[in-house]
A and B are shown apart, each in its own frame.
Chain A
Amino acid sequence: MTNASSANMENVIEEKNQDMAISARNINVVYSTPTGQIPAVRNVDIDLPKGSITGIIGESGSGKSTLIMAIMNAVTKPGKIESGSVILDGKEDMLKLSTEQQRKIRGKKIGFVFQAAQNSLNPLRRVGQQILDLGRSHDVKDLRALIKYAKELLMRLGLDADRVLASYQHELSGGMRQRVGIMFALVLNADIVFLDESTTALDMLSQASVLEIIRELQKEKKLTIALVSHDIGVIADLSERIEIFYAGEIVEEGKTDDVLANPQHPYTRGLIRAIPKISGDIDSAEPLKGASPDYKTYQQPGCLFYDRCPIRTDECLKKRPDLTHIGKSHKVACFRVGVHD
């Protein structure tokens, strides 16, 4: 007991030492549907340390994108943020600001790139015009400098800047649009960037080069990045910390290599075993059993992973485990830590 509490103390100190770009506490998001209220995100605490890349992994429908939207206070109906706080830079609470203040922050301080970048570009205006629109709506005085900076970024991203600025979105390929999306996220010097499945639609080679560019820019500009994906490969390659999301809750978090080399939650273990890998024994790979969580899963009081868990006990059905420390920065939400299947 004393050991555990002293470990906790250490962690508290460590967390305080590192500045958080975003510190979200107790986030709850609920979707109202004809079948009842579905908690898409439940009691999630998440910290994005300044200048680091955090990866969030989850199946489709696990609520990972909703969490990002909640952090930006941009959840749309029928979703609703029930409670929580999102502290930016240890100062203001994103969930309490006025809409105008929020709008100023989104884009200027927080940049975001979505999965379908083509849907976030205006089909009727050239890319260059859209940069000017963005600048005007954020009261940028020197629009000429903005365009110059946009060009520089596009060049960095390996694009022909003049051509891109003069094109409509349909004239660009998927990979180019995704890069344009990244440029838009960075052009106002945002220091926090959310990338929501932003490389999923890309080809292998363009994905690799976009990831490489993100890595470079992050180092150079000390960006804080939250990377959301269902592809564990992308996240494992890029992020320093990793959050495993299941049915609206974080079930495991920690340093990436730590979690991957030594996964403790049965879901994390199953997920790692279930991905097609380029290395290792192919016969040891096994698909994850059971079906993805549905609305019935959310209503039970016990552990959300109970149905699919190979090491469940009766206790798991009655109570839901909390996220608890098992190492320096490694946390798991499971009663059966240490039990192997």
Chain B
Amino acid sequence: MGCDPVNSKINKKGNVVETNRFHSVILTSVKAVWVKTRCGILAGFHAAVPFVESARLCAEKNCAEVRKSMNKIKEKVMEYVFLFTAVISIIAVALICYFLFSNGFPAIKEIGLKEFLLGEVWRPNNKKFGIYPMILGSIYVTGGALVIGVPIGILMSIFMARFCPPKLYKVLKPVVDLLAGIPSIVYGFFGLIVVVPFVREHFNGNGQSIFTASILLGIMILPTIIGASEPAIRAVEQNYYEGALALGATHERSVFTVVVPAAKSGILAAIVLGVGRALGETMAVMMIVGNQPRVPDNIFQGVRTLTTNIVLEMGYATDLHREALIATGVVLFVFILLINLCFSALKRKGKE
């Protein structure tokens, strides 16, 4: 019996022991069939013919050559299996696009694109489906979150990259990671029991407003911004900083006027990432933003965002109403795709 590199093991005494070769034959054949059915074009018909043949030969205890070709086939088949698993993400994106667009477009067509995007009235009972207030709501809330989150986030990442001693960094990094890990529903709950009453007591309105949501979202996008911009600032070459120092600038001045501008595209990418996070946030926003579908007069009024519109009404919506909600999702999806595009463009620019 030859020594099969794949199917034999060396036992404790040092003898070569044939293990489950037959099992692996069955296993490979099952895998092969599976792959063949899944991606028939790829696995190809040709692989199957010698494979079946060799399986038979092997069962008749035929020798090393067969096993060699078996291995070859196995390698080939597994390569296609890996290829298939890699292609899954493409399939997923394609499916998401297909199902969203095919379910959302009929509604947009029926309502009319202009009526849908720019209509100011959302009254499903009266067949009025205008999502302009929600688009505005999303933009306001995201903008507010940026006003609060971006300065703090960037200053924090500057602190972590260029100011804090290594020992403190070891504490701060996990703290920021923890902030990123808190589920959005817990953030929302926190907003509901802390931020909403606070705003109600100290500002106008009933507390559920653009302002409230901006504060909470600003906190929520902090870890996103820090996580992306801190490495960008850290990656700036030390020469830049040292050159500025040598010219007589203080530490702060060299960091802010030389290092940070050099990391500009990385920081911008971080902000874009934060925009995506704020725009897509659903549950936390829903609990604190008030959810009235209207064009707001000031930031202490409640609004409804694109995301919350979907979650609020999907439970009981039917027919055109349901399709209009899916179309809302399509609009949100397009926004997010655009933001992703910006992000990857900025990232590529940063690498150059």
Chain B associates with chain A: no
Contact residues of A with B, CB < 8 Å? none
